[in-house]
Amino acid sequence: MRTPRALIALAVASVAFGVSGATAQAPAPRDPTQPCPGTTKPGCGDNYLQSVRIALERLNSTTLAYPDTVDTSTATTQPDLFKPGGNRVGPPEQTSFNGVGYGKTVWYDLNPPVDGNVFAQAVGNGFDPLLCIVRYDARDVPNFRPLGPYACSNQDDSPSDGLLKNGVKRSRAYSIQVGGVGQGGGSMKFDVNFTPYRLRATSKAAFQLTPTGVKLVSLRVSVNRKSRVEVGCKGCGKRVKRGRKVKFNFGGKPLRAGSKLSIRVTRGGEIGVYQVRRIRRGRAPTETDRCLNPGSKKPRKTCP
C-alpha cells in the first residue's frame, strides 16, 4: 500500500504455465483482493492506492530484479482511483489503450534507487496481458495523483507482454498497471528488470619513481559520459574538472610512500566511480576500484 506501501519479498522461482514436469515449484499465485502477506489491511495490489511496492534485489552485477506471481481472476477496476484510500475525488482507472479494452488490473509501485532503464514483463496463463507505467506525485498524500500520460504496451493476442521505459529517475515515483485484454484474467507471472545507469571510468597516471615514493606528473581520466571528476591527494588539494576526457597536471608533485591519490567520478542520479592509487616506495602505485551511490561520498564494493 502507498501509505504505508506493502512490501512483498518473493523467492525467485521458475514458472512454467501449463507445462507438466517443471523442474522448479512456482510459488502459489496470490490473490490481489486479499491482504498482503504479513498484513491485515485489505487488498494487495488490486486497487491503485493498494499498490505493491517493487522490492528490487540484485540479479547479477548489472541488473536488479523483482518477481511476483498473482491470480487476477477476481481483480477489479476502479471508477475512482482515489477510492478506497484517498481524500479527494479522483479520475477513473484507465482501462483502454489504442482502442483495446482491458480489466482485472493489478498495481505495483517503483521507486528507483538510481537513474536507469526498467523492463516490466507479464506472462498470462490463458489470457493476453497489457502493461502501462505512469509517474505519480509522491508528495500528494494520501492520493498520490498520477502524472500522465501513461506509457503502455500490448502485443496482439500474445500471452506475454513487455514494457520498456528508459530514463526513469531516482527522484521520481512510478506505478505499473497490469490488466487483461477483454477482461481476461488468471494466473500471471510478473517480473521487473531494472538496469541502473553506471559510470565507467579509466585513469592513467604519469609519474617518476623516487627513493621515497613518486613524482606525479599528470593524470588523465576518461569517462563513458560527461561527468564531474574530482582528484585529490595530500599536499595537492582537491581539483575538479568536468567532461568525458580530462587531464590534470601536477608538475612533478612529490608523493611519499603511504599516501594516496583519489579519483571520484560522479553524475547526478547515477552510480559513480571511486579509484584510489596508493603510493609505494620504489614500485608503481597499487590501484583499487570502488563504486559510489548517488549523493554519497562513501566508496563501496558493490552498489545497486
DSSP string, 263-277: EEEE-TTSBEEEEEE
Judge whether residue 20 has pLDDT over 70: no
Triad 173, 176, 177: Cα angle to 5°: 145
C-alpha cell at 99: 482502442
Strand partners, 246: 221
**What end-to-end distance do the CA atoms of the chain give, in Å?**
24
pLDDT, position 119: 98
In the predicted structure, residue 37 carries a pLDDT above the cut 90: no
Cβ atoms of 215 and 206 closer than 8 Å: no
Task: Indicate whether 85 pLDDT > 80.
Answer: yes
Q: By three-state DSSP, how is residue 152 classified? A: strand
pLDDT band at 41 (very low <50, low <70, confident <90, very high): confident
Q: Are 162 and 131 in contact (CB under 8 A)?
A: yes
Which of 31-45, 71-85, 258-272 comes out lowest in average pLDDT? 31-45
What is the C-alpha to C-alpha distance for residues 141 and 138, in angstroms, rounded to an integer? 7
**140-185 confidence digits (pLDDT tens):** 999 999 998 999 999 877 899 999 999 999 999 999 999 999 999 9
Whole-number Å distance between alpha carbons of 196 and 59? 12
Q: What is the pLDDT of residue 126?
A: 94
In DSSP terms, 255 is beta-bridged to 214
222 vs 67: CA distance, rounded Å: 37
Count of residues for the chain? 304
Q: In this structure, are residues 271 and 251 in contact, taking their beta carbons and an 8 Å threshold?
A: no
8 pLDDT more than 60: no
CA distance 101 to 96: 4
Closest CA relative to residue 75, chosen from 158, 174, 184: 184
Question: What integer best gives the mean pLDDT of the chain?
Answer: 91
Query: pLDDT digits over 56-69, tens only?
Result: 999 988 999 999 99
* pLDDT tens sequence across 201-230: 999 999 999 999 999 999 999 999 999 999
Distance of alpha carbon 126 from alpha carbon 72, whole angstroms: 12
**According to the model, what pLDDT value does residue 27 have?**
67
Task: State the greatest distance between any 2 C-alpha atoms of the chain, in Å, as a whole number.
Answer: 78
% of the chain surpassing 90 pLDDT: 85
- Predicted local distance difference test score (pLDDT) of residue 11: 36
Q: Using pLDDT thresholds of 50, 70 and 90, give the confidence band for residue 200.
A: very high
Stretch 278-283: mean pLDDT: 94
Cis status of the peptide bond prior to 142, with omega within 30 of 0? yes
Residue 74 phi/psi, 5-degree rounding, is -105, 10
Q: Which has the minimum average pLDDT: 7-21, 60-74, 129-143, 148-162?
A: 7-21
261 touches 216 (CB < 8 A)? yes
Strand bridging mode 52-53 / 6-7: parallel
What's the pLDDT score for residue 42? 86
- With H, G, I as helix, E, B as strand and everything else as coil, classify residue 49: helix
Statement: the pTM of the whole predicted model exceeds 0.85: yes
Question: From CA 194, how far away is CA 166, in angstroms rounded?
Answer: 10
Average pLDDT over residues 21-32: 69
Cell numbers at residue 212, please?
Answer: 621515497
Question: Residue 12 above 90 pLDDT?
Answer: no
Q: Quick one: pLDDT band at residue 13, thresholds 50, 70, 90?
A: very low
Q: Does residue 26 carry a pLDDT above 70?
A: no
What's the confidence (pLDDT) of residue 256?
95
pLDDT for the residue 92: 97
pLDDT of residue 22: 40
